[in-house]
Homo-oligomer: A and B are copies of this chain.
Amino acid sequence: ESRVSPQSPAQAATGAGTAVPITVAHGDGIGPEIMTACLSVLDAAGARIAPEPIEVGEAVYARGVSSGIGPDAWESLRRTRVFLKAPITTPQGGGVKSLNVTIRKTLGLFANVRPCTAYAPFVATRHPGMDVVIVRENEEDLYAGIEHRQTADVYQCLKLITRPGTERIVRYAFEYARAHGRRKVTCMTKDNIMKMTDGLFHGLFEEIGTHYPDIEREHLIVDIGAARLAERPERFDVVVTPNLYGDILSDIAAEVAGSVGLAGSANIGAHCAMFEAIHGSAPDIAGQDRANPSGLLLAAVQMLVHIGQGDVAERIHNAWLATLEDGIHTADVHRDGVSNRLVGTQDFARAVIGRLGLAPRTLRAASYAAAAKPIAVPLVSRPARPDKRFVGVDVFIDWRGTPDGLATAIRQVYGGALALTMITNRGVKVWPDGLPETFCTDHWRCRFMPAGTMAANPAQAAQMVGRLLAAGIDVVKTENLYLFDGKPGFSLGQGQ
């Protein structure tokens, strides 16, 4: 079963002419000046919005609020559900938390959408034909931030990939492609190595993709995929990936498009959405009317599409393209021979306003007609629960010695329902039949499975752990082993 979430109040309020309340943060550094420029364009273009300013960032951190955001701001965000955010300055060090991570996680902004486009010949780029959108999963993967150190040698971080999280981002990518008239979605994972986690992502991509026969799909291993994106970005259209890869890929895409000052991004959730430029607060040029407001403006264009004002989004986007074409450029993209006029932040905004109603002549015009209906944020299906059966446990032990010594020690103190079948160190099987060349840390994974033909249960595993601990064997973690509908929910040891 797959449904569509109820529209946000913002979405419901459109059509008519009612102003949609949106939360606005003017930010730090160049933030206030680019926000002023941006709102002046939105106003002139007839955006039906009612901005509510909130304070986040430097001033809030300075008051000792470690998250950089106070209760009033949360209240506004949770009411308007739409956030247009200028860049903020994150104080260095000292217990401060990333505002973006906090907002993303707290509001469940599962998708990060970043269009990276080249504007040749008006902006210098090595890749004139490039027009890529990176759709990055935003909440899980290694970024769940669950880390443990349990021995002197070894530190661990959990990579979590979930079925509902993956399903949602993949569906969103296909819905996005369809709404924006795009033809291909490329998925990138490393599922030749991570067969279960990345395998899930790739598998759901193929499965869900069959419901979008109008969209071509391809999968690339992320190493060669990143290399191709760096060297031949023209061959990509929409790219969907897990969080970490997406982080790397979206920076590559923005960099090779040659337009870090020209790109905006959307963070989409089931209930809320946040829109911002991809650059930071650039304190070195703050207050000088030199900053390019384009990244924030393009983020605002995405916001307008999101709240169902595609008509206004299209007017602004096309006027902005016409401004670029006319060679009216801020310092960051100004080039002799290409540019006609060097302008400051506010003059650039005025130039865009002066072109509202015009379309670009050379660059491809933006068209948001298809997106008049906002993209449905897919709720997740909950398939029937699989049959889950306990078949053993991996017990991790802090131990300085040889694999054979550890096996002997274990078997001296425990001989119950579960039997030691394998020991690995950093994933490589070292018992039985290890090789002397294998380097071993103090972190050993001991796999136990039922000794006889009787089924085992988790309680026996807990008992065994108790016995090992009582004998001074330093168990630091456990991972149960299950079959799901008869299929193993665990990988084999390398060399097993």
Contacts from A to B (Cβ < 8 Å): 78, 98, 101-102, 105-108, 110, 126, 139-140, 142-165, 190, 192-197, 200, 222-224, 226-231, 244-245, 247-248, 250-252, 254-256, 269-272, 383, 385-386, 388, 394, 398, 424, 426-428, 435, 437-439, 441, 443, 445, 458-459, 462-463, 465-466, 469-470, 474-482, 484, 489-491, 494-495
Rounded to whole Å, the gap between the CB of A153 and the closest CB of chain B is 5
**Given A146-B427, A226-B248, A478-B478, 10 other A-B residues pairs in contact with their CB atoms under 8 A:** A105-B494, A105-B495, A142-B193, A148-B481, A230-B252, A458-B474, A462-B462, A462-B475, A463-B466, A466-B466
**Are A197 and B155 within 8 A (Cβ)?**
yes
**How far does the alpha carbon of A489 sit from the alpha carbon of B388 in the complex, in Å?**
32
**Are A477 and B475 within 8 A (Cβ)?**
no
Residue A194 contacts which of B142, B439, B469 (CB distance < 8 angstroms)?
B142
Residue A435 contacts which of B106, B146, B463 (CB distance < 8 angstroms)?
B106
Residue A158 contacts which of B156, B244, B484 (CB distance < 8 angstroms)?
B156
Are A248 and B223 CB-contacts (below 8 A) given A154-B160, A231-B256, A437-B107? yes
**Are B462 and A150 within 8 A (Cβ)?**
no
Chain B residues with CB under 8 A of A489: 148-150
Are A190 and B150 CB-contacts (below 8 A) given A437-B106, A459-B470? no
Residue A244 contacts which of B190, B247, B272, B482 (CB distance < 8 angstroms)?
B190
**How far does the alpha carbon of A161 sit from the alpha carbon of B427 in the complex, in Å?**
12
Residue A437 contacts which of B78, B98, B251, B469 (CB distance < 8 angstroms)?
B78
**How far does the alpha carbon of A145 sit from the alpha carbon of B251 in the complex, in Å?**
27
**Are A441 and B105 within 8 A (Cβ)?**
no
**Are A494 and B427 within 8 A (Cβ)?**
no
Chain B residues with CB under 8 A of A470: 459
**Are B386 and A152 within 8 A (Cβ)?**
yes
**Are A269 and B437 within 8 A (Cβ)?**
yes
Rounded to whole Å, the gap between the CB of A161 and the closest CB of chain B is 5
Closest to A380 in B: B439
**How far does the alpha carbon of A441 sit from the alpha carbon of B380 in the complex, in Å?**
11
**How far does the alpha carbon of A341 sit from the alpha carbon of B140 in the complex, in Å?**
54
Residue A197 contacts which of B140, B156, B271, B437 (CB distance < 8 angstroms)?
B156
Rounded to whole Å, the gap between the CB of A68 and the closest CB of chain B is 13
**How far does the alpha carbon of A342 sit from the alpha carbon of B134 in the complex, in Å?**
41
**How far does the alpha carbon of A463 sit from the alpha carbon of B463 in the complex, in Å?**
8
Closest to A143 in B: B193
Chain B residues with CB under 8 A of A426: 139-140, 144, 160, 162, 165
21 contacts between A and B (CB under 8 A): A101-B494, A105-B428, A105-B438, A140-B427, A145-B427, A145-B491, A146-B445, A147-B194, A149-B489, A152-B383, A152-B386, A152-B388, A156-B158, A157-B158, A226-B248, A227-B254, A270-B437, A271-B437, A462-B466, A463-B466, A477-B480
**How far does the alpha carbon of A152 sit from the alpha carbon of B222 in the complex, in Å?**
26
Chain B residues with CB under 8 A of A161: 154-157
**Are A153 and B163 within 8 A (Cβ)?**
yes
**How far does the alpha carbon of A439 sit from the alpha carbon of B270 in the complex, in Å?**
9
**Are A441 and B165 within 8 A (Cβ)?**
yes
Residue A469 contacts which of B223, B424, B458 (CB distance < 8 angstroms)?
B458
Closest to A196 in B: B147
**How far does the alpha carbon of A375 sit from the alpha carbon of B200 in the complex, in Å?**
42
Q: Which of A98, A269, A424, A494 has the most CB of B within 10 A?
A: A494
Chain B residues with CB under 8 A of A490: 147-149
